[in-house]
Amino acid sequence: MNGAQTIVKFLQSKNVEHAFGYPGGPVIVLYDAIYEAGFPHILTRHEQGAAHAAEGYAKATGKVGVMIATSGPGSTNLVTGIADAYLDSVPVLAITGAVARNSIGSDAFQEADINGIVQPITKYNYLVMKPEDLLPSLEEAWNLTTEGRPGPVLVNVPKDILTSEIVGCTTSECGYIRHRPAKTRTDTHREDVYDALLKSSRPLMIVGGGVVISEGASGYLKTFIDKTGIPCACTLMGKGALDEYDPKNIGLVGMHGSPQANIALGKCDLILAVGMRFSDRVIGDPVNYNKKQRTIIHVDLDSAELGKLVKPTIAIEDDAAEFFKQILEGLPETDSSVRWKEWFEDLSHRKDRYDTIKEEMYDPDNGLTPQYAVHAVSKACKGSDPILVTDVGQHQIFAAQHFKVESPRSFITSGGLGTMGFGLPAAIGAAVSSPDRRVILFAGDGGFQMTIQELGLLSKLQCDLKVFILDNAALGMVKQWQELFFNKRYSQTTMDNNPDFIKIVEAYGLNGERVRSTEEFDEALNRAMSEKGPYILHCMIEGNENVYPIIPPGKQNDEMVYPWEDK
């Protein structure tokens, strides 16, 4: 076999169901091998679309998402998606072509040092310079994507390696052994955790994306919550780790989190943080945050996160599922309903108040607001456990606040990087991964136009994907910051020449309609949900709606700003 055939056979051996990519000169031989083998490849309309689709596939399934691109601009177009996957711990494998080995470093046509470019945004990356290194590099790269904290790995293959006969090492046993999984340490700190919980009068659990991606962790979390009665908040990436209909789930924490969750974070005397990073969007300024006296138990698979921003009292380097499993084994019996009764009742009261405020937001007399649209879709989907996907911006936070997610791996968004344009290709990738589940996408008018060409892919695949474009004719989140913190100096945030999205949708052979009122929206939503396949609603929403609560820059979690009277 040549190098191209070796790559295809390797992917087949790993039971890769779908790869997303875009061909080009140096990888023509690879695409010829794909054709010859009948390998399941999906042609996106842009390499960035391939990267985000691979992310969506991986986030929805936990399996490795595979992307393929040619050298130079093909590989550099993957960079945003690779960086996005790195910050959100998504297992993706990028296979790129490179110019021939004798041309590397000569500024040859379509040459770019992709290995140098992605060095800080991959777990590891490979430039294959010997035919006998191809398969071992692929094998180790595959293992690295999911080993320990998941993340992206890139394998860059010169075009003459793709055409070369592969001799020497041709079995997976030849893989390099450079990396070792982290040691688990929960057992050495178990009694310390029990002791800290028993001493606490105002405990709070915060779960992040690490709980979502850890196999079985969500079930163990539910058992732990039920046994202890500890209130639980989630980060944006942790949404779905605990059913949002569970009364112990007090909601999203952080910059746009719920009042009850942020007040709990400000007033608690103990934090049990599992699989989260204490990012600036959760705690604000870590210097000010570290001044507060409280017990912090931080559990994370990546030792680099322990103590990086917040100094923990107890640091545990472990997988989330393993942590909960071991903690549950010897959990002491305690009447938490008595111990934490006053604390939990206070948070429950605040939660009830916030739920009442949200119900007022859903009043159809307020017009077609983003809150109304998101809630209506959530209500229509209740009990069906759909996959919710968002692009990035105000609509992303409205979706996080007002759409209730019922299970892990059912909320897919760009968290760490905040990539506009993520939504549509990621939603397609999620739909490809789970053909029996409905996928819901909320996108803004700005981000949707960044990868709008992937409507061509949606038209080809005919996924059961419902797209809601929330059009406020603005780059909403930036405009909100300009309004609140820059004296309403709206610089370059007005989108006053948005296209007729439905004409574009129809040009791709897809169905959709524009709505301007709550009545039109409700009728269109029924039509969209009643049929199988893609449907796009262009929603002309109220343009002055802002996301609240919001924690202003430099403020703490219990210093939220919101426009309603607190009761």
Q: Any catalytic annotation for residue 110?
A: yes
The residue annotated as part of the active site, out of 67, 477, 540, 560, is: 477
Compute the half-sphere exposure of residue 550: CA atoms within 13 Å on the CB side of its CA: 15
Q: Any catalytic annotation for residue 477?
A: yes
Structure-token pair, residue 526: 């029924």
Structure-token pair, residue 478: 């930036």
The residue annotated as part of the active site, out of 59, 63, 159, 222, is: 159
Q: How far is CA 521 from CA 291, 367, 528, in A?
A: 48, 10, 10
Structure-token pair, residue 539: 């929603």
CA nearest neighbour of 268 among 191, 335, 347, 192: 347
The string of DSSP codes covering 498-560 is ---HHHHHHHTT--EEEE-SHHHHHHHHHHHHHSSS-EEEEEE--TT----SB--TT--TT--
Q: Any catalytic annotation for residue 344?
A: no
The residue annotated as part of the active site, out of 109, 342, 523, 559, is: 109
* 3-class DSSP state of 90: coil
Q: Is 32 exposed, middle or buried (0-12, 13-18, 19+ CB in 10 A)?
A: middle
Q: How far is CA 96 from CA 53, 117, 124, 154, in A?
A: 16, 13, 14, 7
Q: How far is CA 554 from CA 307, 418, 481, in A?
A: 20, 20, 14
Q: How far is CA 348 from CA 52, 250, 262, in A?
A: 38, 8, 13
Structure-token pair, residue 262: 């942020």
CA nearest neighbour of 223 among 329, 351, 296: 329
Q: Any catalytic annotation for residue 224?
A: no
Positive or negative: CA dihedral 319, 321, 327, 330: negative
The residue annotated as part of the active site, out of 5, 10, 20, 47, is: 47
User: What letter would DSSP give residue 259?
Assistant: H
Q: Any catalytic annotation for residue 453?
A: no
Looking at the annotation, which residues are catalytic? 47, 109-110, 159, 477
